Amino acid sequence: MFVMSYLDKIDKASLPGHIAIIMDGNGRWATKRDIPRFEGHRYAVKSVRACVEAAAELKLNVLTLYAFSTENWRRPKKEVSALMNLFFEFLKKELETMLKNNVRFKLIGDRDGLPDFLQERLSHALDSTAGNTGLLLNIALNYGGRDELVRAARKLAEEVKKGDLQPESIDESLISEKTFTAGVPDPDLIIRTSGEQRLSNFLIWQAAYAEYFFTDVLWPDFTKDNLHEAIFEYQQRKRTMGGATVSEAGSKFSADIPLTASNSRISETLV
């Protein structure tokens, strides 16, 4: 009997423009196999490659991967050092994949806080892919959502201090312009692996209206089919962005009905 794959089920005309992934579970994957945690991180590179290739094949606009947070520096020094060396290897080995798939690479996060030995290779990857016109691959490295907002606030405060900006002129668009993702559409779909169901300080400003997909699959086991499944699930949802769906707008609970005590709870669900 023929069974349709998730790729076959996906509506190619209504793909999410921006997918972001919290890549979680490398350590647990390694522990289950009684091998060092670092081997989980190393094995997980294949999942990164698979998702980049899948996103490029589907002609998605943006893929953002949460690789290393500002809080991850608290991990054992040996593990952090191993991760930094892995990023160094990744930038060399995966550059060919990015060039082959017309991928433009971008770093989001505090680059100045990364080790010196990474800087030249980062610059090479950024420069080498700058002219590519396909998928935009954001790697969140030394990234924290709260840190990002603090930096944005400081930039705006400095402009106000200089007299270049009036406080009352600050709005959502101005704040967005000061984030690491300035000019990039907010994520439509955020995926988290390993069964955890939280943002962990990831894109907390940009995720306001994102859809979430949580899976028990550990990141090193995440495949193209898992990504296709998340996209298919995303397409089954109705996104209202705080408004009402077409059917709701035409119902007896439409916004043109005066708000009374009896229907206030129903109205609250539309926000």
Is residue 66 a part of any domain in this protein? yes
Distance CA 139, CA 127 (A): 15
Domain range for 265 is: 244-271
Q: Are residues 267 and 215 in the same domain?
A: no
**Same domain, yes or no, for 265 and 211?**
no
pLDDT level of residue 250 (50, 70, 90 thresholds): very low
Per-residue pLDDT of 189-236, as tens digits, reads 999 999 999 999 999 999 999 999 999 999 999 999 999 999 999 999
Q: Each residue of 33-54: pLDDT tens digit?
A: 999 999 999 999 999 999 999 9
Same domain, 264 and 142: no
Pair 205, 270 in one domain: no
Which residue type is seen at 186? D
Q: Is residue 3 part of a domain?
A: no
Judge if 263 and 199 occupy the same domain: no
Q: Give the pLDDT score at 258.
A: 45
Confidence (pTM): 0.88
State which H helix or E strand residue 7 sits in: helix 6-9
Looking at the structure, do residues 187 and 255 belong to the same domain, yes or no? no
Q: Is residue 7 part of a domain?
A: no
Domain membership of residue 5 (yes or no) is no
Could you tell me if 72 and 56 lie in one domain?
Answer: yes
Catalytic position from the list 11, 26, 72, 138: 72
User: Are 153 and 271 contained in the same domain?
Assistant: no
In terms of domains, do 266 and 150 share one?
Answer: no
Q: What is the pLDDT of residues 154-190, one digit of tens each?
A: 999 999 999 999 999 999 999 999 999 999 999 999 9
Residues 6+ apart with CB under 8 A from 24: 192, 193, 194, 196, 200, 218, 219
Task: Report the 10 Å Cβ neighbour count for 246.
Answer: 9
Question: How many domains are there within the chain?
Answer: 2
What CATH number is attached to the domain comprising 31? 3.40.1180.10
The answer to whether residues 204 and 128 belong to one domain is: yes
Which of the following is catalytic: 24, 101, 138, 188? 24
Is 72 an active-site residue?
yes
